[in-house]
Structures are given as structure tokens and as C-alpha cells.
Amino acid sequence: MEKIEFDYPAQHKVLKRAHVGVVGSGDLEVLLEPLEGDRAHVSIQTSVDGFKDTWKAVLDRFFAKYDGAVRIEIHDAGATPGSVLLRLEQAVEVSQR
Amino acid sequence: MSEQRNDTKFINRQSFIELNARERAEILFDTGTSRELAGPFDRMESPWLAMQGVTPQADDGCVVMKGKISGQSTVVIALEGAFQGGSLGEVSGEKLTAALDLACADNEKGIRTNAVMLLETGGVRLQEANLGLASIAEIMASILVLRRHVPVICIIAGTVGCFGGMSLAAGLASYVVMTREARLGMNGPEVIEQTSGVEEFDSSDRALIWAIHGGEQRFAMGLADALVEDDAQQMVEAVQSFIAKGVPAVHRSSEIALYRSHIAALDASRQWDPKELRAIWKADVATEDTQ
């Protein structure tokens, strides 16, 4: 198992937290919470080692469009990059509901 | 259950099986009355999984919700079958036990609180071995105390089913609700095949598995009290009806003489057909059908 962390600049205050997904095979769980300040922090625990570059590529793309000041915690059980991005977008949607 | 059903109604139903544990729990409550206890943001994760290279889940696969069903205070505990097969570890087991014990404490103070368990589980989480086993002993003890006050209702909707130690917890429940897709048994098909050989039980034979462990067979043998469609509304109504019924006069697990005589009457020298078993077992079971 590998633990990976990333930081991104952020501008918007987020008011609500969101929890989506499940740590089931090929899926992941995302916990999104408001974070004080002007940055976003992502911490990942994944059962599949050696994909730090892929995680960075997926999160770079996600944060190219999203600028919420949040703490995101990901529990991954081998989700594909596409599933990861969908779950992140779902978490944002739930936090804006 | 009648063979003829309203097909439009069936097609337009809301599936219960397709819901995750949190959604299953929430849908059982009177609208807007539920709240989650010890949820994912409380981060009660298993401390044991990460050290074995397994990613933990923030709620450890156990969802606890409190609210009202039919206007009565009720706690619903749902195991998430998609996370580690719904297995019981130290944390998820403690959440389940604590929820039952808090309900019991309320009842003892005169605040009636019913309990519903949604079990999708393979039993003990092997990565947490003895702690999982200890949890299941505690859960069973807690059910035995709580069921003196209120009905403890167990739902096995599928498709994981309820196996291992948690099948014993289901056996202690006041009422068991199943769907045709669900399975209930002590040893799962793979376990039987692995320990006794493929001649004893072929775990790739789905028809055989459902003929023995399936909801329809368990209901027909009197080991489940209701068989419902994969329909959220039917599930809600089944739970409401058992809450209205209250504590049964005799719990199934107290019918020791009855089940001893059932087993004694079976001639183990020949292979029994699941349909034959239905005829023998169902005949004098005290628990009544709801349908």
C-alpha cells in the first residue's frame, strides 16, 4: 500500500463536506471537507503501488477546473484514472448540493 | 407470494439491492428523521488493514443510523458488502455492538428503540481474525439482551448474503427478511467445497447454491420470516410490519426441541432434495408467514 500527498493552490471557500464511493475493487472512497486558507490538500491511500505520476496527472486535470479550498482524502482500491476523476467530480457535486 | 404480479409496478420499482449500505439504511426511515452516528468523517477506520497492505474505509464498512420508523425510535445498522465482503473487524464490530447496546440502554430507561440490521457479510474479517471473532460473540450477546425488549429485525437483501459468524447473529434475530437473490448460511459454498470436496458441494453450481442457501428456500424452510421482491417499498413495509408485530412469543433460536427433532428425523445416509426439506421443516414451525 502506498500513501501519496499533493497540494494545489485554491481560491474558493467551500461550505459543505461530501462523502462518496466505497473502497471496493476498482472503486474508491472520497472524503471532501472545507479547508482554511488558500490551498487544497489531497492525501491518498492506495492498494496499488507505483502510480504516483498517474495520480498527479489525474489531480492536475481535476484542479485545472476546480479551485475549492478543500482537504480531500482518497481511499483507493485500484480504481482506473477515469473512475477517480468521476468520483472527484461527484464529490464536488455533492458538496455543492 | 403470488406468481402473477403487476409487471409495470415491478419494472418501475426502486431496487433495494442496487443501493449501497448508507442508502439502504436511510430509505427504511420515515422521511427526514434519520441521522448517521459515527459516520465516515469521524474516521473510525480499522487500524489493522493498512499494516497488511489493505486500504481501510473511513466508516470501516459499518453504517449506523438513528431515526424513526412508523413513528418509533429505531436504530439501523448496515454492513457494506462492497468493502471487504462486508466483513466484521474490530471497529465495524464495535460499532454494531455499541449501536445495539445503546438501543438496549434506551429501552431499559423506558425509551422504546427498535433495531434493524442489514447484513451483507462473509462474517469475520480474516485480516483481524480473533478481534472479529470476539466482535461476533459480543454482537450475539447484545442481540440476546435487546430482543427481550424490542424486535431485532435482520434484512438480508443480497447479493453478498450473510455467512459465517454473522449467520449466527441472523439466527438470533426476532425476524429475518430476505429476497430471492439473497443467501444465508453458516459455511459459504466455496468454504464447503474447499473443506469437503467438490463432490460434496460444487461452488460453481449456482442452481445448487440457491436451492440450499437462497432466500426462497430459507423462507420455505421457516428460517426466514418474509420473502420480498428486490423492491425498496416492499422492504420498508416488511420492516414496518415486524415493528408493529413486536417481540415474538417464542424466538426461532429458542425452539431447541423442535430443531433437534427435525435434525434427528433426517436420514443422513441418503441425499435429501431441498424441496423435500421444505415440506418437512415448514410443517410445524411456530413463526408465521407475513405474506
> Which CATH architecture describes the domain B7-282?
Alpha-Beta Complex (3.90)
Do A27 and A48 form a contact (C-beta atoms < 8 A)? no
Residue of B55, B60, B121, B159 to mutate, testing the A interface (most A Cβ within 10 Å of its Cβ): B55
C-alpha cell at B20: 449501497
Question: How far apart are the C-alpha atoms of B201 and B30, rounded to whole Å?
Answer: 43
Taking an 8 Å cut-off on Cβ atoms, the answer to whether B82 and A45 are in contact is no
Mean pLDDT of B61-85: 97
Task: Mark which residues 21-60 of A lie under 8 Å from B by CB.
Answer: 22-24, 27, 29, 31, 33, 45-47
Q: Which of A1, A29, A77 sits opposite B58 (nearest CB)?
A: A29
Question: Which residue, B94, B152, B75, B83, is CA-closest to B122?
Answer: B83
Buried residues in B160-179 as b, exposed as e (16+ CB within 10 A): bbbbbbbbbbbbbbbbbbbb
CB pairs under 8 A between A and B: 44
Contact: A33, B41; criterion CB under 8 Å:
yes
- Percent over 70 (pLDDT), chain B: 95
Residue among A19, A33, A75 whose CB faces B55 most closely: A75
- Pairing outcome for strands B72-79 and B114-118: parallel
In whole angstroms, give the CA distance from residue A70 to residue A13: 8
Contact B57 A29 (CB under 8 A): yes
Query: Which of A20, A46, A75 would best serve as a mutation to test chain B binding (most B beta carbons within 10 A)?
Result: A75
Q: What is the DSSP string of chain B?
A: --S---HHHHHTSPPSTTS-HHHHHHHHSSTT--EEES-GGG----SSSGGGT----TTTTEEEEEEEETTEEEEEEEE-TTSGGG-B-HHHHHHHHHHHHHHHHHHHTT---EEEEE--B-SB-GGGHHHHHHHHHHHHHHHHHHTTTS-EEEEE-SSS-B-THHHHHHHHSSEEEEETT-BB-SS-HHHHHHHH-TTT--TT-HHHHHHHHBHHHHHHTTSSSEEE-S-HHHHHHHHHHHHHH-S-SS-GGG-HHHHHHHHHT--TTSPPPHHHHHHHHHTT-SSPP--
What is the band of B289 on the pLDDT scale with cuts at 50, 70, 90?
A: very low
The number of distinct structural domains making up chain A is 1
Domain that holds residue A80: 2-95
Q: Please determine, for residue B16, whether its predicted confidence score (pLDDT) is greater than 80.
A: yes
Determine the pLDDT at residue B96.
98
Q: Which residue has the higher pLDDT, B7 or B289?
A: B7
Q: Closest approach of chain A CAs to the CA of B198, in angstroms? A: 28
Could you report the predicted ipTM of this complex, rounded to two decimals? 0.94
Q: pLDDT 10s digit of each residue in chain A, 97 long?
A: 999 999 999 999 999 999 999 999 999 999 999 999 999 999 999 999 999 999 999 999 999 999 999 999 999 999 999 999 999 999 999 999 8
Closest residue by Cα to residue B154 from B128, B192, B182:
B182
**Interval B255-259 mean pLDDT:** 93
Chain B CB contacts of A22 under 8 Å are 20, 57, 80, 82-83
Å from B85 to nearest chain A CA?
9
At residue B81, φ and ψ (nearest 5 deg) are -65, -25
Cα–Cα dist A32/B104, whole Å: 34
Question: Residue A22 sits in a domain of what CATH number?
Answer: 3.30.230
Q: Does the distance separating the beta carbons of A1 and B58 come in below 8 Å? A: no
